[in-house]
Chains A and B, each alone.
Chain A
Amino acid sequence: MKRNYFIGLTSLGVAAVAIPSWYYLTKPVYDVSLFFPKTLTSIWDRPTMVFIGQEYLDKYPIENSQRKLIDLLLEGQSPKMNNIDETLALKIEKDYQEKRIVTIDGWLLSRTEARQCALFTLTEIQ
């Protein structure tokens, strides 16, 4: 899938249904980049992303909430960070450095990018 098309679809989906209103009341609005791992969009299509996200949630059911996942993704980060893409890329790199790697459907993924998929999946099914 072309990346621009993918991002477009994702943004629409996220804007429409993704984040519950209570979350808006208590937290700032986040960049849509938080909801999908940018690099993986160059090798996966949308159904694959959703599938991987669901597999992750099945494997780690304790993280099966948007709020939990957002908190985990932003753990240690400023809520008002300027460039979330860059921040997440660094977080993913650090995952690989510190061996925070999960195996989902055979894919060897950083914990952060797997959580992004999971968050994307939750936005899709709402």
Chain B
Amino acid sequence: MHIDARKLEDDSIIEGDVCIIGAGTAGISIALEWIDSKKKVILLEGGGFEYDKDVQSLYSGETTGQKYYPLQSTRLHYFGGTTGHWAGMCSPYDPIDFQERDWVPHSGWPISREALDPFYSRAHRTLELGPYNYDFESWKAKIPGLIPFPVDENVVWNKLWQFSEARFNSLYAETIINSKSVHLYTYANVVDILGNENLTKIHEVVAKNHSGKTCKIRAKQFILACGAIQNARLLLASRTQTSQGLGNDNDLVGRYFMEHLEHASAELWLFKPFPTKLYTWSSDTEVRAELAITEKSQRENQILNGTVSLFPLTLGRSLKSEMDLWNNEDPRKSAENFWNDIADARAAAEKITEGSISRAFTLHTRIEQAPNPNSRVTLLSEKDELGVPKTKLNWELTALDKRSIRRIYQLLGRQMGLSNLGRVRLNEFLRDEDDTAWPDDLNAGWHHMGTTRMSDTPKKGVVDPNCQVHGISNLYVAGSGCYTTSGAPNPTLTLVALSLRLSDYIKEKV
């Protein structure tokens, strides 16, 4: 069922069993689990089914610290969320990502990778991926041409990726609209969350839209699924009953914001061509690998988890920085800049077909960011058009982040030397061992994580291992905001898995 909240009577009251706030990847993944339920699920989406600049502008804010993309441009604010233009890259987090590592401050999830495995498998169906199988040897046996570099498996392993083409808007809109259980309200932007006197239980949320309509939604269970930045913003902005915001007794909401550092970091020059389909994009293979550092080597070198992808240097040298290209508040225009640059670089690369550079590759880092309490989302005094304080993001990196990137390439450089495949050249920003500064054009993956981190105790995080906000019995957070550490892979597969796990948990409660 679909209702446009702009057409409701002002001050309407909507009641249901479960209220999901946000119809992006996490929210829709959960809603789909309730399609045939006898319970009434209210799914609130701030936008409609298409891009709306007024709705999108509600994401605007300011950034400080390490240069970041315009906040308004980093998420899509309509049904389906950022799956509207995502790259579809999926790979599970590694077991070490969930573990406490004494060289990574604030690391250690209260759940293990094994706890998520069954949900990863289900998430594959939601995202229309292939089998939940990331074992290199079995894929190698299945697909010809997946030839790995002959490097030491104790140091470097081949981490596989699968690719989803799921756009949740076109893929699931009809299913949701036709459901009798799920009541989708578009143009319903939640602006406040209200609870009982002691704030141990939520009673209702208040939603508004640009048509001037307000409605209140009452439910037994509430799930925040607006994305890591907006979830934190909404908790902090819900100050009607508590000045510090909901779930923020320990001043942790919004802290530990993490991104994936995704940056061209080095070059690999091969002595001879190495024909393989394993490491580069190819439309005729279901999987691709990135060179990853083993758990053993991470421990020995006290570094973060990260991977390295390859693409032709002839292309890489022509590409501009994404941080410079993705500079427009309008995500559509930023995306256009981005794709135009790739097209230009490809055209330039096609002209270079000879010489040793034709055997050379840009080595592109994809690495977790160390959890840092000073990397955080707070509120500005300025408010958006619906009266919610705007977001301020201070993105702050640490010396461990940079040392880890440098060390990854030193390890890889040694492996290339040992195998005599070729030589690795560090990019300028990694050459000085004592330099902890970051270039202004450092790229990030548009991945927002950690702002409502998961922990066993309220002193260390915002949500418990079931994604319930500590101290509030019926308020949950879905999505990558719950990540305690950010892992190396893109967050979508893991956030869908975590959302399905949350859905199961709530089903037991209602």
Contacts and interface: CB of A to CB of B under 8 A. Distances in A.
Nearest to A95: B417
Contact of A108 (B270, B271, B413, B427): B413
Interface stretch (A15-23, A25-33, A39-47): A39-47
Nearest to B424: A108
B423 A108 contact: yes
A96 B418 contact: yes
A92 B426 CA distance: 20
B360 A43 contact: yes
A42 B151 CA distance: 21
B427 A106 contact: yes
Contact of B426 (A40, A44, A96, A108): A108
Nearest to B412: A108
Given A39-B271, A43-B356, A108-B410, A103 B417 contact: no
Given A43-B360, A96-B418, A108 B425 contact: yes
B205 to A, nearest CB: 53
B426 A103 contact: yes
A40 B417 CA distance: 11
A110 interface: yes
B418 A106 contact: no
Interface residues of B, number: 25
A101 interface: yes
Contacts of B271: 39, 42-43
A43 B422 contact: yes
Contacts of A105: 425
Contacts of A110: 417
Interface residues of A, number: 20
A107 B360 CA distance: 13
A105 to B, nearest CB: 8
A74 interface: no
A72 interface: no
A117 B269 CA distance: 17
Secondary structure of the A side of the interface?
mixed
Given A42-B356, A108-B423, A99 B431 contact: no
A93 interface: yes
Interface string A44-87: 10000000000000000000000000000000000000000000
A101 B356 contact: no
Contacts of B420: 39, 89, 92-93
B140 interface: no
A108 B431 contact: no
B350 interface: no
Contacts of B360: 43
A97 to B, nearest CB: 7
B296 interface: no
A108 B267 CA distance: 10
Nearest to B414: A96
Nearest to B415: A96
Given A42-B356, A43-B423, A108 B269 contact: no
Interface of B: 266, 269-272, 356, 359-360, 409-410, 413-414, 416-418, 420, 422-428, 430-431
10 contacts: A39-B420, A42-B271, A43-B269, A43-B356, A43-B422, A99-B414, A105-B425, A106-B427, A107-B426, A108-B409
The 8 A-B residue pairs with the shortest CB-CB distance, nearest first, are A108-B413, A96-B417, A106-B426, A43-B269, A43-B356, A106-B425, A96-B418, A42-B271
